[in-house]
């Protein structure tokens, strides 16, 4: 059996692209290792194994638990093979993951919520509710899972949000039936049978740095793919290469590097299009969303960068997508031209005049939706609440930063701020600051000790460990407000967000 540290620290995402060609098949691992404990029934189904369907990360967590808790000794290639096999034969459809993919993509989320307060408090107090929603089980197996929780974590009933109520009675009478009804086993989906090879035009945005276009090149290599990704930002380009694979119906997982930084890709691949997020392997807060299609795919616009026109000033707009041409049709009040069209990216120079509001430009028959503006009516900060984690200082767990952006808005037709008809303008450069959130934070001087924020909106927390300068030598955790100030026109606009600089994440599962 491999050392626990090695088992615990290799995520499913890394497994998806970091192992050599398989020497064994997943079915062989199932027969040789899993069969030692799991009974194969006469109909060919396996006890417990065929009672659930999960994402690749979900199956990897299960396999890891078998290795850690039950002494199942698997080599890395065997572990990869069984995760791949289970994902292909007992995975979720992409449709079943909608609305909860953020947890697979490591999107920075401070808290996520269940369908109601009770489910949030029951499940979401220990891990994300998304972990629950990204699996399907029989009614019997949901009961097994809840029972397993109490057996594995016997203090569960005495923790907050459990000791003040009949937790076990509620779990039996309400939670188990809800899970069985909401997330039934259903039918497995077949594995991806196509070939994703090709050159793709891509577009996305990395918070804190800006928009990018670029290219994703995917080349078949046995069961897997060789991958290169180029990201073209306003301030320069980055190029990464590595390998990836498609698990289940269309779960793309890849690991790439530029020689200095390793990144992960977690995408959904369907209808010839990639959608998802990439992030730094050692700091998943740093990354960006991405969409990619082949240039010869059905005509579509991936992104317009930026998607706003400053009234009275020429603006260069980069439009990425498929089926683009230089046939430009402009609405009244907008003038301009196409500067170039190449490799799925059209560069336009446009000038808006007249009133602020939505502007629809036609490029080769495709609508490019923009907004004309003079100045934002207000700004907000995204995310509204975030967590950063102290770390480093000679310890094994690095700091986990938090990334913020200032977003501009027009009030919309009703002239009122923060209503449903508000029109987004996208991210604006801002001046950033942090301050104490409340009286307790003032007393503890959290803003002084808990970290600092740079001019890109990246908050870097302070060192882990006791701080002798603070009362009772407490650590550098803190409760902060983040303040952004945008200067567009004569009147600066400000907004605030909430930030917890908290302790390290000591257990970091593939699905948090």
pLDDT single digits (tens) 60-86: 999 999 999 999 999 999 999 999 999
Residue 384 backbone phi and psi in degrees, to 5: -70, -25
- Give the chain's mean pLDDT: 93
Give the start-to-end residue ranges of the domains of the chain.
Answer: 4-92, 101-133+139-182, 198-293, 300-373, 378-502
CA–CA separation, 350 and 315 (whole Å): 5
- pLDDT of 283 > 60? The answer is yes
- pLDDT of 20 > 70? The answer is no
Fold classification of 300-373 (topology level): Immunoglobulin-like (2.60.40)
- Read off the pLDDT band of 11 (50, 70, 90): low
Measured in whole angstroms, the distance separating CA 468 from the mean position of its chain's CA atoms is: 37
pLDDT single digits (tens) 184-223: 999 999 999 999 999 999 999 999 999 999 999 999 999 9
- What contacts 283, CB < 8 A, 6 or more positions away? 398, 400, 401
Residue 129 backbone phi and psi in degrees, to 5: -70, -25
Sign of CA dihedral 42, 39, 82, 138: positive
Q: Which CATH superfamily is domain 198-293 in?
A: Quinohemoprotein amine dehydrogenase alpha subunit, domain 2 (2.40.128.120)
The SS3 of residue 118 is helix
CA distances from 207 to 190, 212, 258, 354, 452 (A): 36, 11, 20, 31, 17
Average pLDDT over residues 311-332: 96
Query: pLDDT value at position 479?
Result: 98
376 close to 428: Cβ distance less than 8 angstroms:
yes
CA–CA separation, 225 and 222 (whole Å): 7
Query: pLDDT value at position 349?
Result: 98
pLDDT single digits (tens) 445-498: 999 999 999 999 999 999 999 999 999 999 999 999 999 999 987 889 999 999
Strand-pair partners of 251: 247, 268
- Read off the pLDDT band of 145 (50, 70, 90): very high
**Residue whose C-alpha is closest to residue 140's, from 170, 184, 97, 90:** 184
CA–CA separation, 249 and 92 (whole Å): 8
Query: pLDDT value at position 2?
Result: 42
501 close to 446: Cβ distance less than 8 angstroms:
yes
Average pLDDT over residues 259-288: 97
CA–CA separation, 54 and 341 (whole Å): 42
450 close to 467: Cβ distance less than 8 angstroms:
no
pLDDT single digits (tens) 394-438: 999 999 999 999 999 999 999 999 999 999 999 999 999 999 999
- Read off the pLDDT band of 23 (50, 70, 90): low
230 close to 237: Cβ distance less than 8 angstroms:
yes
Query: pLDDT value at position 205?
Result: 98
The SS3 of residue 174 is helix
Q: Which CATH superfamily is domain 378-502 in?
A: Immunoglobulins (2.60.40.10)
- pLDDT of 13 > 60? The answer is no
Give percent of the chain above pLDDT 90.
89
pLDDT single digits (tens) 95-105: 999 999 999 99
Average pLDDT over residues 40-54: 94
pLDDT single digits (tens) 33-43: 999 999 999 99
Average pLDDT over residues 223-249: 97
390 close to 462: Cβ distance less than 8 angstroms:
yes
Q: How many residues does the chain have?
A: 512
Peptide linkage before 383 cis (omega within 30 of 0): yes
CA distances from 435 to 242, 448, 494 (A): 42, 8, 14
- What contacts 163, CB < 8 A, 6 or more positions away? 157
| Burial class of 319 by CB neighbour count within 10 A (0 to 12, 13 to 18, 19+) | buried
Q: 493-509 burial, b for 16+ CB within 10 Å, e for fewer? A: bebebbbbbbebeeeeb
pLDDT single digits (tens) 167-182: 999 999 999 999 999 9
What crossing angle do the helices spanning 76-89 and 56-70 adopt, rounded to 10°? Answer: 130
415 close to 486: Cβ distance less than 8 angstroms:
no
What 353-357 contacts at long range (C-beta under 8 Å, 24+ apart), as own/partner pairs, is: 353/311, 353/312, 354/311, 356/311, 356/410, 357/410, 357/423
Query: pLDDT value at position 4?
Result: 39
Q: What is the pTM of this model?
A: 0.92
Do 300-373 and 198-293 have the same topology in CATH? no
428 close to 406: Cβ distance less than 8 angstroms:
yes
């Amino acid at each position: 059996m491999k050392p626990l540290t090695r088992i615990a620290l290799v995520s499913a995402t890394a497994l998806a692209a970091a192992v050599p060609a398989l020497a064994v098949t997943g079915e062989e691992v199932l027969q040789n290792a899993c069969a030692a404990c799991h009974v194969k029934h006469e109909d060919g189904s396996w006890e417990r194994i065929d009672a659930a369907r999960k994402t690749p990360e979900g199956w990897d967590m299960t396999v890891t638990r078998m290795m850690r808790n039950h002494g199942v000794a698997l080599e890395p290639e065997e572990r990869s093979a069984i995760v791949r096999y289970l994902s292909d034969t007992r995975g979720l459809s992409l449709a079943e993951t909608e609305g909860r993919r953020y947890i697979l993509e490591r999107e920075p989320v401070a808290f996520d919520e269940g369908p109601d307060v009770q489910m949030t408090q029951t499940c979401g107090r220990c891990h994300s509710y998304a972990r629950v929603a990204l699996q399907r089980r029989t009614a019997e197996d949901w009961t097994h899972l809840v029972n397993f929780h109490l057996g594995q974590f016997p203090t569960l009933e005495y923790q907050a949000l459990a000791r003040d109520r009949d937790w076990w009675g509620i779990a039996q009478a309400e939670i188990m039936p809800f899970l069985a009804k909401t997330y039934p086993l259903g039918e497995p989906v077949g594995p991806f049978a196509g070939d994703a090879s090709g050159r793709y035009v891509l577009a996305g945005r990395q918070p804190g740095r800006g928009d990018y276009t670029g290219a994703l090149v995917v080349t078949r290599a046995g069961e897997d793919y060789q991958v290169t990704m180029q990201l073209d930002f306003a301030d320069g380009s980055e190029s990464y290469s590595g390998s990836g694979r498609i698990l289940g119906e269309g779960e793309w997982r890849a690991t790439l590097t530029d020689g200095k930084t390793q990144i992960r890709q977690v995408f959904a691949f369907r209808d010839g299009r990639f959608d998802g997020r990439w992030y730094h392997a050692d700091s998943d807060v740093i990354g960006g969303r991405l969409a990619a299609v082949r240039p010869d795919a059905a005509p579509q616009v991936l992104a317009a960068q930026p998607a706003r026109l400053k009234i009275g000033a020429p603006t260069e707009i980069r439009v990425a997508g498929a089926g683009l041409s230089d046939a430009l049709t402009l609405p009244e009040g907008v003038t301009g031209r196409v500067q170039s069209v190449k490799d799925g990216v059209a560069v336009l120079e446009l000038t808006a005049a007249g009133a602020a509001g939505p502007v629809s430009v036609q490029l080769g028959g495709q609508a490019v939706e923009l907004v004309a503006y003079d100045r934002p009516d207000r700004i907000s900060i995204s995310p509204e609440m975030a967590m950063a984690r102290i770390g480093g200082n000679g310890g094994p767990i690095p700091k986990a930063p938090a990334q913020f952006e200032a977003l501009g808005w027009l009030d919309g037709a009703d002239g009122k701020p923060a209503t449903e008809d508000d029109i987004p303008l996208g991210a604006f450069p801002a001046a950033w600051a942090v301050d104490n959130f409340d009286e307790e934070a003032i007393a503890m001087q959290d803003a002084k000790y808990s970290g600092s924020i740079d001019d890109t909106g990246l908050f870097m927390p302070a060192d882990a460990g006791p701080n002798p300068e603070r009362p009772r030598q407490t650590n550098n955790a803190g409760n902060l407000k983040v303040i952004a100030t945008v200067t567009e026109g004569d009147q600066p606009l400000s907004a605030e967000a909430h930030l917890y600089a908290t302790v390290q994440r000591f257990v970091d599962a593939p699905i948090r």
